């Protein structure tokens, strides 16, 4: 081992690192031995980009020109014959906020023409929401300014000035960028791309303290673009401009936007903003379905995870809400479950990520089960992988509340009382978390030498979130205690708690109806319908309450209103089942729903099924067959009918790979306990594999899972565990189902090391994707 260590110090990229041979003491010696060498010239780690840290993230696989990303053009200086087409593609993707794919397009140019300054500008723009990476990319653009035209230089300098952090005041820095873009327009008045950029920045900065002083002026600028290019994706920015101001003004753009860049899911999503604002939920849901399907189709082709795509989870959770408005319980429930069935990831999809599938899925599932009164389903799902308990109070109390409501509605008093007691432990946990946060804030204030008054303010702020959680938990406790009182026959206490209930106004109205308080029920239901235009559930409750008061004509009128928006209503759910006898009394048919009347102001729409699946569908795992160290072929087909954990590692000389394989080996029994075999594919030749096995065996053990050789990197390419731009293999971890589909993946410059997370997903995902 001493010889091999010396060899590594001299030739770091060729050293063989035996598996299982690194103890803590030898690791320390290794670190000390390498320190002087690394400080002189740090070797590039396997899987890391030779262009710098910023290139370690983002897409590292190439893609062809996909077309349909927007009719845009900005002339750039490039030596690559396809560079202009890829730049136009990336520019269109920027307009569609398809940042991940825009970065892929610009990387393609950099790979072929490393001196193309505008390609690096594009990479910076694709990282508009990641300033750290954007700075690295714009610095690269500046290095190649001499290759850029004067027009291009204006774009690069504007973004470089914005990213230099000066002035310190964010508003002033934002204003400076707007002025720089205006300077481009001043010098190039025919540059519609600069005008489009100014429009989107005006909108984005309006959300950061720089209000739009004239929406009409911005719209006039957009109209200049559309006069020259009627199908320009700047329609996207008209929707954002008028979304919260006057949605009707953007109806024309809502009708056209999807067709301006049909390959970009977000361009189908955005019209949903306008249609939702105008209570046109059928049209909104259609567009959100189109967006979801295009995203899901793209994921299958590119082997990427759902939450890697900008706004993906937001689109789908909003779709579930619009289906609720339409009374489509089954579709809404399926979409909420679909969000929860998506792969979780420590950085991409977590419970704490407010815009992540996991977070949205739990929130929407609780709402849907409550609103459609699916109480048996609620008990079933909260006892399963779909809606599992979590140890974070703010995410657990909505689940417990749902369970409590379900037990009440099912007349299960002991279970309801047991649920209420669990809120006490949640409060204790929240208090503990609050104290911990405040102690940390106090320590930091002390370290930073803050004054007593500043420290008090910081400590109070640190505990604010937990205080809000505790307040909400107590509110739900009161609500559920009121339900216990009702089961005990204590009407006074029950009504007192009902006033504080968190249920929707129309649902509270039905509770007052149950208690015989028709006056309050009528008042609340009328208010709910007024504030919930064209929403089926409030109207259904209103019909019940009007009928109970014997107001036949008003009941009939409200029922006719409901029928006009009834095309997707699920008549098998309790809120609508209760309307059956009322419908009969009014002489309506058993199936009283009516088909939707299509709007006349929308564009021609493609068939939804042609765009992709409505839910995330795991991609088929590519087949492979490679030899192990004994030259015995092992293929994916050998694991047919069984799940598989597939690891791609970068040979025996990769220290990080050895750490991952050793970590997996240490936990091999845990994987065996859940019947999940492990297989590792290496860039090694058979000789390298034999060395790995021999060195592990020298420790007196047999390596607990097979290693197979792919020196040609054929499977690395198939699984996208490869940087196509730099022709380098990447670390990859894949969970493959027994039916041969990729349920989970991580492709990165570094190996995935969170073994507990991996085990958790390996247990959770297969039952959800049978």
Task: Give the span between the Cα atoms of 72 and 264, in whole angstroms.
Answer: 14
Q: What is the pLDDT of residue 506?
A: 98
Asked if 720 and 61 touch (Cβ cutoff 8 Å), the reply is: yes
609 CB neighbour count, 10 Å cutoff: 9
Q: Which residue has the tokens 């909003």?
A: 318
What is the pLDDT, as a whole number, of residue 55?
Answer: 64
pLDDT in tens, 627-686: 998 899 999 999 999 999 999 999 988 888 889 999 999 999 999 999 999 999 999 999
Report the pLDDT value the prediction gives residue 41, as an integer from 0 to 100: 43
Cβ-based burial of 502 (10 A; exposed 0-12, middle 13-18, buried ≥19): middle
Q: For residues 199 and 185, what is the distance between their CA atoms, to the nearest angstrom?
A: 12
pLDDT < 70 regions, the chain: 1-56, 695-700
**Contact present, 374 and 333 (Cβ < 8 Å):** yes
**List of long-range contacts for 490-497, beta carbons under 8 Å, 24+ apart:** 491/515
pLDDT per residue as tens digits for the range 433-492: 999 999 999 999 999 999 999 999 999 999 999 999 999 999 999 999 999 999 999 999
In whole angstroms, give the CA distance from residue 269 to residue 576. Answer: 29
CA–CA gap between residue 65 and residue 85 (Å, rounded): 8
Rg (CA), the chain: 30
CA distance 719 to 732: 8
Are 710 and 681 in contact, with CB atoms under 8 Å apart? yes
Residue with tokens 């910081």: 458
Q: What are the distances in angstroms from CA 684 to CA 61, 117, 654, 721, 729?
A: 22, 37, 11, 15, 12
Strands 678-682 and 644-649: parallel
Question: For the whole model, what pTM was predicted?
Answer: 0.91
Per-residue confidence (pLDDT) for residue 165, from 0 to 100: 84
Tokens standing for residue 652: 């025996």
| Beta strand pairing call for 707-709 and 625-628 | antiparallel
Whether omega before 275 lies within 30 degrees of 0, making that bond cis, reads no
Beta bridge partners of residue 762, listed in sequence order: none
What is the DSSP track for 475-513? HHHHHHHHHHHHHTT-HHHHHHHHHT--S-HHHHHHHHH
C-alpha span between 691 and 19 (Å, rounded): 9
Q: Can you give the pLDDT at residue 698?
A: 54
- The confidence score (pLDDT) of residue 702 equals 75
Helix ranges (DSSP H) in 270-354: 271-277, 281-302, 312-325, 329-341
Q: Which residues contact 722 (CB under 8 A, 6 or more apart)?
A: 60, 61, 713, 716, 728, 729, 730
Which residues in 378-482 belong to E strands, given as ranges?
none
Question: What's phi and psi for 708, nearest 5 deg?
Answer: -125, 155
Alpha-carbon distance 306 to 312, whole Å?
7
Q: How many CB atoms lie within 10 A of CB 513?
A: 20
Q: Retrieve residue 449's tokens.
A: 């030498």
Which residues on neighbouring strands pair with residue 87, listed in sequence order?
none
The first and second tokens of residue 228, run together, are 């020259």
Calculated CA dihedral for residues 498, 500, 503, 505, nearest 10 degrees = 90
CB atoms within 10 A of CB 223: 12
Reduce the DSSP state of residue 656 to 3 states and report it. Answer: helix
**CA neighbor of 177 nearest in space, from 138, 149, 148:** 138
In Å, what is the CA distance from 53 to each residue of 38, 39, 223, 726?
A: 17, 17, 41, 14
CATH domain 625-768 topology: Glutaredoxin (3.40.30)
The three-point CA angle 318-323-325 to 5° equals: 95
3-state SS, 657-724, equals HHHHHHHHHHCHHHHHHCCCCEEEEECCCHHHHHHHHHHHHCCCCCCCCCEEECCCCHHHHHCCCEEC
How many whole angstroms separate alpha carbon 250 and alpha carbon 232? 15
Query: How distant is the alpha carbon of residue 59 from its chain centre?
Result: 16
What is the 3-state secondary structure of 123-183? HHHHCCCCHHHHHHHHHHHHHCHHHCCHHHHHHHHHHHHHHCCCCCCHHHHHHHHHHHHHH
């Amino acid at each position: 081992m001493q010889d091999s260590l010396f060899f590594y110090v001299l030739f770091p990229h060729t050293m063989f690192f035996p598996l299982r041979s690194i103890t803590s003491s030898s690791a320390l010696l290794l670190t000390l031995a390498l320190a002087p060498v690394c400080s002189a010239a740090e070797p590039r780690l396997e899987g890391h980009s030779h262009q710098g840290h910023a290139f370690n993230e983002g897409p590292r696989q190439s893609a062809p020109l996909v077309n349909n990303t927007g009719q845009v053009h900005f002339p750039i200086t490039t030596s690559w014959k396809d560079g202009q087409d890829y730049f136009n593609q990336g520019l269109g993707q920027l307009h569609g906020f398809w940042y991940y794919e825009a970065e892929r397009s610009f990387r393609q140019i950099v790979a072929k023409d490393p001196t193309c300054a505008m390609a690096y500008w594009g990479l910076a723009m694709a990282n508009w929401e990641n300033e750290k990476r954007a700075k690295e990319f714009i610095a690269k653009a500046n290095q190649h300014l001499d290759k850029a035209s004067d027009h291009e230089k204006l774009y690069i300098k504007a973004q470089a000035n914005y990213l230099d952090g000066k002035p310190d005041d964010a508003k002033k820095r934002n204003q400076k960028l707007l002025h720089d873009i205006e300077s481009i327009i001043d010098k190039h008045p025919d540059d519609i791309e600069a005008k489009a950029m100014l429009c989107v920045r005006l909108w984005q900065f309006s959300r950061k303290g720089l209000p739009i002083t004239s929406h009409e002026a911005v719209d006039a600028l957009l109209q200049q673009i559309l006069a020259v290019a009627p199908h320009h994706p700047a329609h996207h920015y008209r929707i954002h401009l008028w979304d919260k101001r006057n949605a009707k003004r953007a109806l024309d753009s809502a009708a056209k936007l999807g067709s301006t860049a049909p390959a970009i899911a977000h361009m189908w999503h955005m019209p949903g903003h306008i249609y939702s604002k105008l209570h046109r939920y059928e049209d909104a849901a259609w567009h959100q379905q189109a967006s979801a399907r295009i995203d899901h189709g793209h994921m299958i082709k590119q082997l990427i995870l759902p939450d890697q795509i900008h706004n993906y989870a937001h689109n789908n959770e909003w779709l579930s809400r619009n289906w609720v408005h339409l009374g489509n319980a089954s579709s809404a429930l399926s979409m909420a479950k679909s969000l929860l069935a998506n792969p979780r990831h420590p950085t991409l999809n977590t419970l704490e990520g407010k815009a992540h599938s996991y977070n949205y899925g739990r929130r929407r599932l609780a709402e849907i089960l409550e609103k459609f009164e699916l109480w048996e389903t609620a008990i079933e799902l909260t006892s399963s992988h779909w809606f599992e308990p979590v140890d974070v109070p703010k995410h657990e109390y909505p689940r417990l509340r749902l369970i409590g409501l379900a037990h009440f509605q099912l007349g299960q008093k002991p279970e309801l009382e047991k649920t209420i007691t669990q809120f006490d432990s949640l409060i204790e946990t929240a208090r503990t978390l609050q104290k911990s946060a405040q102690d940390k804030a106090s320590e930091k204030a002390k370290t930073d030498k803050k004054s007593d008054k500043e420290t008090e303010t910081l400590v109070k702020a640190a505990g604010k979130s937990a205080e809000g959680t505790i307040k909400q938990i107590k509110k739900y406790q009161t609500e559920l205690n009121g339900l216990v009182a009702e089961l005990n026959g204590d009407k006074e206490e029950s009504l007192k708690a009902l006033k504080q209930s968190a249920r929707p106004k129309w649902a509270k109205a039905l509770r007052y109806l149950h208690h015989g308080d028709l006056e309050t029920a009528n008042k609340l239901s009328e208010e709910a319908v007024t504030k919930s235009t064209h929403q089926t559930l409030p109207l259904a409750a209103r019909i019940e309450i009007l009928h109970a008061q014997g107001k036949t004509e008003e009941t009939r009128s409200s029922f006719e209103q409901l029928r006009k928006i009834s095309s997707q209503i699920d008549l098998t759910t309790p809120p609508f089942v209760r309307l059956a006898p009322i419908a009969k009394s009014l002489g309506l048919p058993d199936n009283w729903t009516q088909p939707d009347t299509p709007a006349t102001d929308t564009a021609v729409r493609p068939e939804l099924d042609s765009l992709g699946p409505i839910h995330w569908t795991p991609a088929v795992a590519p087949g492979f067959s490679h030899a192990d160290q004994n030259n015995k072929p092992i293929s994916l087909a050998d694991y047919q009918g069984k799940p598989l954990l597939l690891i791609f590692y970068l040979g025996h000389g990769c220290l990080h790979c050895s750490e991952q394989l050793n970590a997996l080996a240490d936990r091999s029994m845990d994987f065996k306990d859940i019947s999940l075999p492990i297989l590792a594919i290496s860039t090694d030749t058979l000789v390298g594999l034999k060395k790995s096995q021999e060195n592990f065996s020298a420790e007196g053990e047999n390596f607990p899972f097979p290693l197979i050789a792919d020196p040609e990197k054929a499977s690395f390419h198939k699984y996208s565990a490869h940087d196509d731009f730099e022709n380098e293999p990447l670390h990859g971890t894949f969970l493959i189902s027994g039916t041969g589909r990729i349920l989970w993946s991580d492709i990165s410059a570094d190996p995935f090391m969170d073994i507990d997370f991996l085990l958790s997903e390996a247990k959770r995902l297969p039952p959800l994707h049978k």
